[in-house]
Amino acid sequence: MSENHTGDLQPEIPEMPAPKVTERVAVGMPGLPFLLIAFTVLFGGVALFALGIVKAKDSGGALAGVLIAAGVVIALAAFITMFGLTQVAPGEARVCQLFGRYQGTIRQDGLRWVNPFTSRRKISTRIRNHETAVLKVNDSYGNPIELAAVVVWQVRDSAQAVFEVDDFVQFIAIQTDTAVRHIATNYPYDAHDVEGLSLRGNAEEITEKLSVEIAARVGAAGVKIIESRFTHLAYAPEIASAMLQRQQAGGDRGRPPDHRRGSGRHGRVRADPDLRAGHRGARRGAQGRHGQQPARGPVRRPRRTARTQHRDPLPVTEPTGRTARKQVLLRLDPAVHDAIATWAADELRSTNAQIEFLLRRALAEAGRLPGAAKPIARRGRPPRSTQPEEEPPTDPTQT
């Protein structure tokens, strides 16, 4: 680790070995002109062979044999040289190798001709990207965090990509994961020091350092790093709730008293910790001026006495003359329940009232209906009270 003039820790960039081979242009020529020349030579060889056959039939002699041999050699040579034609698409390159020795690279697209005895390996020079999986590491403070990154890269030197590493695509993937882990362990998720760098607060600086480190690691493979970015950055689930509360509590530091959360004209009010668990989404339990709504429960309005405009409180009492209903748990077959519900709807009763009606009728038919049982309530609205209204008291001063 090294330290710069600002006091920030700089991660050490690994030093990779110097490459032993570099890319160069392969010796060759345009393919279309060579194809015309090859066809011309091939036809010339065929013509010499045919002329030799004619001479042999007419007069024979050594001249006919020479013409036949020359025609065969020329035609065969033209045919063999045509195997050197190579088609290169845009965004691709051909790495030429002759008997194990590097001969050069063809980057120009189109039809090209090189030594027909060389082996030509295709390699893509297009821009690619690699996205790491979500990695779980500990930051410099020891807190477990999750992060992932994407790297945009391109092959710069095809010879190094082929000969310096075994598989340059896999090499880039492994080195990128290593660089991301190395950067994450050298910086905190949130810095306690205002001047220190953090993964969350200094994303631009950290991603620039990440690009530099990845470029240093994969430079031996002939790869150029275009850009790198973090795609996922968060605390691990096991500490996310506690760290979120800590962040929100620390966010009030340095603010004027009138702008702090939970403070009003009557003083500072501490927030409920359940309301800060943002990782679980919005929580119930917010209290306002009209009452409070507890978590997983109904709205409970605060009990207050009537204000002065009502003079006296208005108590709410239960209606008299009703006995408490016995609540029981009844298990029924679904088909039986559906039949009773349909029957109750036909007679304008609720399902509970229909069950009680049937039970009362069965007890009455069996002679077991107790005399203390009050009659079942009639269907519809309850009747109005038949008690006479009290006359208002008279004022004795008016007599």
What does each C-alpha distance from 285 to 262, 304, 309, 327 come to in angstroms?
Answer: 15, 20, 31, 31
Q: How deeply is 158 buried, as exposed, middle or buried, from its count of CB atoms within 10 A (0-12, 13-18, 19+)?
A: buried
What does each C-alpha distance from 304 to 291, 307, 310, 315 come to in angstroms?
Answer: 11, 8, 12, 11
Q: Report the DSSP beta bridge partners of residue 29.
A: 113
**Residue 188 contacts residue 196 (beta carbons within 8 Å):** yes
Residue 303: which of 311, 315, 295 has the closest Cα?
315
Instruction: Indicate whether this model's pTM tops 0.75.
Output: no
**Residue 126 contacts residue 154 (beta carbons within 8 Å):** yes
Backbone angles phi, psi at 150, to 5 degrees: -125, 140
pLDDT confidence of residue 350: 87
Confidence bin at 231 (pLDDT 50/70/90): very high
CA-CA distance, 103 to 118, in Å (whole number)? 8
pLDDT in tens, 16-40: 788 888 999 999 889 899 999 999 9
pLDDT confidence of residue 380: 58
pLDDT confidence of residue 107: 93
pLDDT in tens, 66-120: 888 898 999 999 999 999 999 999 999 999 999 989 999 999 999 999 999 999 9
Q: What amino acid is encoded at 152 in this protein?
A: V
Strands (E), the chain: 2-3, 9-10, 29-30, 85-88, 92-98, 101-106, 110-113, 119-124, 128-131, 135-138, 144-155, 223-235, 263-264, 267-268, 287-288, 291-292
pLDDT confidence of residue 64: 81
CA-CA distance, 371 to 375, in Å (whole number)? 10
Confidence bin at 151 (pLDDT 50/70/90): very high
Query: In the structure encoding, which two tokens stand for residue 218, read together?
Result: 């994969």
Helix axes 62-81, 31-58, angle to 10 degrees: 160
Give 116's Cβ-side CA count (13 Å radius): 12
Helix (H) or strand (E) holding 77: helix 62-81
Q: What percent of the chain has pLDDT over 70?
A: 71
What is the arithmetic mean of pLDDT over 309-332? 60
Q: Is the pLDDT of residue 381 over 90?
A: no
Q: Report the DSSP beta bridge partners of residue 111.
A: 87
CA-CA distance, 243 to 276, in Å (whole number)? 10
CA-CA distance, 244 to 277, in Å (whole number)? 7
Chain centroid to Cα 181, Å, comes to 19
pLDDT greater at residue 250 or residue 322: 250
- The CA-to-CA distance between both ends of the chain, in Å, stands at 107
pLDDT in tens, 347-358: 888 888 889 889
Confidence bin at 251 (pLDDT 50/70/90): low
DSSP reduced 3-state for 177? helix
Q: Is the pLDDT of residue 222 over 80?
A: yes
Q: Is the pLDDT of residue 282 over 90?
A: no
Query: In the structure encoding, which two tokens stand for residue 20, read together?
Result: 């032993």
- Match 């110097």 to its residue by tokens: 18
Q: Is the pLDDT of residue 318 over 80?
A: no
Query: In the structure encoding, which two tokens stand for residue 315, read together?
Result: 């108590």
Residue 322: which of 381, 388, 377 has the closest Cα?
377
Torsion of Cα atoms, 70 then 76 then 81 then 83, to 10°: 180
Q: Is the pLDDT of residue 385 over 60?
A: no
Backbone angles phi, psi at 155, to 5 degrees: -70, 120
List the single range of 9-13, 215-219, 331-335 with lowest mean pLDDT.
Answer: 9-13
Residues whose CB is less than 8 angstroms from the CB of residue 310 and which lie 6 or more positions away in sequence, other chains included: none
CA-CA distance, 349 to 145, in Å (whole number)? 61
CA-CA distance, 47 to 67, in Å (whole number)? 9
pLDDT in tens, 157-170: 999 999 999 999 99
Confidence bin at 308 (pLDDT 50/70/90): very low
Q: Is the pLDDT of residue 214 over 60?
A: yes
